[in-house]
């Protein structure tokens, strides 16, 4: 559903990504609104180099497009929403420079506008990387909804940037103003982090925004014990690959397989790429795709898709992305191909999977998770 976002900078039609026919959620929140009102009332932005971090669906970038901001995000969907929302408002795409979360702007930054992300480690990484680019008179404004804004966000800004002052809450949103303290000496950047799966294998690399970056997720641990090993399958997809642990094991079990790693997080794909190379060497072949589920994949092009689906998108909890993954997996599998899925037992994935595939059986279960194998007819 397209909705109108009315702020002092203008009125903009905005949609979330992925697009849903009966979308109930807005493509912006009260923190975007608060931040834009603050900027209109208190900041002269003409001629300033503006960097925006973690814009949800482009509300900030679209509203500030006349100032040609740089928008940095770890989410492919967020970038895609920004592109589509610029086009929907007849704003040229080159008004906003979109950078992924591992890239840096080339020019020094005068104003840093931050949407506080769900994973604070991402913000910590971003502040480490961007601090050397902040001009001495740079002003930093962070914005978030009170209920999702962790106290540690304050501490992080104080530790890595300078003194902070909170705003009053407005419509359940809050701003944090930070000044640049030139005397802060940055501690070493803790990201990426590494953990070992076994003593023999190279450590697993995890960039800051990667799912379960400190240790192996318990669901993934269970799924690793129930992965397909089959001479009948050649083309595998690790869907929502995170750091790639599932796809790495698929490559070990099926040495002649073609594996595609897919995730919408740039940091996930960077981690999976590094982990694949360090395990199998630079000449080993696999494909790494940043994108939304399996959009753009040819129908009937895969034999086996393995998935540990996400249960939220940014701050919104729900199974809509999982459902989209299942539908697209069905289209991308060849007849006789298999989707193998792990889910929390209470999510009852088997009901939707059975409707979609017809043939769906439970392969394994423990107190918390169930693993399903669904065959495409």
Q: Which residues bind ligand SAM (CB under 6 A)?
A: 77, 211-212, 217, 220, 240-242, 245-246, 262-265, 268, 292-293, 308, 310, 321
What are the strands, taking DSSP E only, across the chain? 3-7, 10-14, 50-53, 70-73, 97-100, 109-115, 134-145, 164-166, 173-179, 193-195, 204-206, 235-239, 258-263, 287-290, 302-307, 312-313, 316-317, 333-344, 359-365, 369-375
Report, in Å, the least distance between residue 157 CB and ligand SAM: 25
Q: What is the DSSP letter of 345?
A: G
Reduced to 3 states (helix: H, G, I; strand: E, B; else coil), residue 130 is helix
Residue with Cβ nearer ligand SAM (95 or 324):
324
Least gap, CB of 361 to ligand SAM (angstroms): 21
Q: Which is nearer to ligand SAM, 308 or 373 (CB)?
A: 308
Shorter beta-carbon distance to ligand SAM: residue 211 or 369: 211
Query: Three-state DSSP class for 322?
Result: helix
**Strands 235-239 and 302-307, sheet pairing:** parallel
Cis bond leading into 192, ω under 30°? yes
Nearer to ligand SAM by C-beta: 242 or 337?
A: 242
Please report how close the Cβ of residue 81 comes to ligand SAM at its closest, in angstroms.
12
Residue 212 Rama label (left phi>0; alpha psi -120 to 50; beta): left
In whole angstroms, the minimum distance from the beta carbon of 121 to ligand SAM comes to 14
Closest distance between ligand SAM and the C-beta of residue 103, in Å? 18
For CA atoms 318, 321, 325, 326, the dihedral sign is positive
Tell me how far, at minimum, the Cβ of 305 lies from ligand SAM, in Å.
12
Residue with tokens 């807005």: 26
Which CB atom, from 133 or from 253, has the smaller least distance to ligand SAM? Answer: 253
Closest of 311, 305, 199 to residue 258, by C-alpha: 305
Question: Which residue blocks in the chain are alpha helix, DSSP H?
Answer: 30-42, 59-63, 76-88, 120-130, 151-160, 218-224, 245-253, 266-280, 320-332, 349-357
Closer of 220 and 260 to ligand SAM (Cβ): 220
Nearer to ligand SAM, 26 or 308 (CB): 308
Q: Which is nearer to ligand SAM, 178 or 239 (CB)?
A: 239
For residue 13, the minimal CB distance to ligand SAM (Å) is 23
Tokens 């940055």 identify what position? 186
Residue 345 C-beta: closest distance to ligand SAM, Å: 15
């Amino acid at each position: 559903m397209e909705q109108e976002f009315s702020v002092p900078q203008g009125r903009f039609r905005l949609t979330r990504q992925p697009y849903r026919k009966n979308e109930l959620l807005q493509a912006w929140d009260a923190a975007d609104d608060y931040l834009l009102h603050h900027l209109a009332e208190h900041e002269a932005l003409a001629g300033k180099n503006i960097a925006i971090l973690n814009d949800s669906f482009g509300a900030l970038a679209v509203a500030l497009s006349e100032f040609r901001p740089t928008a940095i995000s770890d989410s492919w969907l967020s970038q895609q929403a920004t592109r589509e929302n610029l086009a929907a408002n007849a704003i040229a795409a080159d008004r906003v420079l979109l950078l992924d979360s591992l890239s840096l702007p080339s020019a020094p930054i005068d104003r840093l506008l931050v949407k506080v992300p769900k994973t604070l480690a991402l913000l910590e990484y971003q502040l480490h990387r961007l601090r050397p680019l902040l001009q001495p008179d740079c002003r930093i404004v962070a914005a978030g909804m009170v209920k999702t804004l962790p106290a540690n966000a304050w501490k992080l800004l104080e530790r890595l940037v300078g003194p902070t002052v909170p705003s009053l809450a407005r419509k359940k949103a809050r701003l944090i103003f930070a000044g640049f303290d030139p005397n802060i000496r940055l501690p070493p950047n803790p990201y990426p982090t590494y953990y070992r799966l076994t003593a023999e294998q190279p450590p697993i690399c995890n960039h800051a925004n990667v799912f379960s970056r400190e240790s192996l997720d318990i669901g993934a641990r269970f799924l690793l014990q129930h992965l397909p090993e089959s001479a009948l399958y050649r083309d595998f997809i690790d869907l929502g690959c995170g750091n790639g642990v599932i796809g790495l094991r698929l490559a070990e079990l099926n040495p002649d397989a073609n594996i595609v790693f897919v995730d919408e997080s740039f940091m996930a794909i960077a981690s999976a790429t590094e982990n694949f190379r360090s395990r199998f060497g630079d000449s080993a072949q696999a494909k790494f795709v940043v994108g939304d589920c399996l959009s753009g994949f040819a129908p009937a092009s895969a034999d086996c898709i393995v998935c540990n689906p996400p249960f939220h998108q940014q701050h919104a909890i729900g199974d809509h992305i999982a459902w989209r993954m299942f539908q697209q997996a069905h289209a991308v599998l060849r007849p006789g191909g298999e989707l193998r899925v792990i889910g929390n037992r209470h999510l009852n994935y088997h009901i939707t999977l059975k409707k979609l595939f017809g043939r769906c059986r439970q392969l394994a279960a423990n107190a918390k998770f169930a693993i399903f194998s669904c065959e495409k007819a």
